[in-house]
Chain A
Amino acid sequence: MIEIAAFLDRVDRAEGEADFRLSAFRKALPILLTNEPEKAARVLMAFSDPTTEPIPAATVQGATGAWPGTPVK
């Protein structure tokens, strides 16, 4: 919890535009406070690409941590 709080403080102190990963992070946070089961799976889904079609070509080799589109509900 302290690591998450410190991360958000760090973001507040930083300058510049936030990228899509911060948006995904903020959308995932409320999952932790629900009384629903399978929180870990739902947090992972909040960062996941929910589409089903393969992409035309891989232009990079690494992952970024969050899908830049709209997270699946």
Chain B
Amino acid sequence: MRYIEPHAHMVSRVTDDYRAMTAAGCAAVCEPAFWAGFDRSSPQGFYDYFQQLTEHEPKRAAKYNLPHYCFLCINPKESENVAFAMEVIKLIPQFLDRPNVLGIGEIGLNKNSRNELKVLEAHVDLAARHQQLILMHTPHLEDKYKGTRLTLDVLKADGRIKPERVIIDHVEEHTIKMVLDAGYWAGLTLYPGSKCSPSRAIDMLECHGGERLWINSACDWGESIPLSIPYTALEMRKRGHSPEWIDKIIFKNPFQFLSQSPKFKIPETAY
């Protein structure tokens, strides 16, 4: 089995997780910037985080021959203070030429506020000006449906954004159709307690055809499972799906999306 983990917050994980993921067949890992579980007190804190994502973390992954890529942003949870967020966004361009940076993410909305929308629009503008891929977070629970609709409105309003270069992550049964119908990629996040179980993810893959879809663990500092992709692949096999279909979902699909950045490459020795 080979797979790509397209959304994992490895800064929150121990090195043993890299070893386990690589042993399970992980061929590349992609790490969007996110909320640390607490609000950072200064833009300098984000500068250090971006350094960690672009210098330190790739070295940690390389010990297991695992290519490490990332997306950069300020998380929507920290976007209510617009002036603060804009200071952080100003820091990002200097990192965009680094070899493991694929785009802007995970951006989006959290509580669907006006200020979050302003910061989202600034991120989308940044991505458009620098021809970056976009990895979009969608809100939790009661806020997801509304937040997904507002996010689609923002993207549609910017004529520079090509839907095929945007993945809208954490979709569930009530949001997946609107995302795919609008031409975007959609991500299914496998969490033990929220978002999506392996069974529900496979249901959605079966119902929506498996095109422009990926699955991810989004493992972080909370309850999450770094091996949830291979575990879900086992569930797919139990349901009778072919090895080719499973390979498409867990390897070829994320490869297709991420390869839109010329920086994304996987050496054959990685799988």
Show the binding face of B for A, using Cβ within 8 Å: 77, 80, 110-117, 139-146, 149-150, 172-174, 200, 203
Contacts and interface: CB of A to CB of B under 8 A. Distances in A.
Contacts of A67: 142
B112 A63 contact: no
Contact of B143 (A38, A40, A56, A63): A63
A62 B110 CA distance: 8
B173 A63 contact: no
B77 A61 contact: yes
A57 B115 contact: yes
B139 A50 contact: no
**Shortest beta-carbon contacts, A-B, top 10:** A58-B111, A63-B140, A48-B145, A63-B141, A41-B173, A58-B113, A40-B173, A44-B174, A67-B142, A41-B174
A57 B110 CA distance: 11
Interface residues of A, number: 25
A64 B142 contact: yes
B142 A47 contact: yes
A58 B146 contact: no
Contacts of A47: 141-142
Given A57-B80, A58-B113, A44 B173 contact: yes
A45 interface: yes
Contact of A48 (B80, B142, B200): B142
A53 B149 CA distance: 10
Contacts of B111: 55, 58, 60-61
Interface of A: 38, 40-42, 44-45, 47-52, 54-58, 60-67
Contacts of A45: 145, 174
B118 to A, nearest CB: 10
Contacts of B173: 38, 40-41, 44
B137 to A, nearest CB: 13
Contacts of B142: 47-49, 63-67
Interface centre among B114, B142, B143, B145 (most CB of A within 10 A): B142
A47 B141 CA distance: 8
B200 A40 contact: yes
Contacts of B150: 52, 54
Given A44-B145, A63-B143, A65-B142, A54 B174 contact: no
B112 A55 contact: yes
Contacts of A49: 112, 142-143, 145-146
A69 B142 CA distance: 11
A9 B114 CA distance: 41
Nearest to B153: A52
A65 B114 contact: no
Contacts of A62: 140
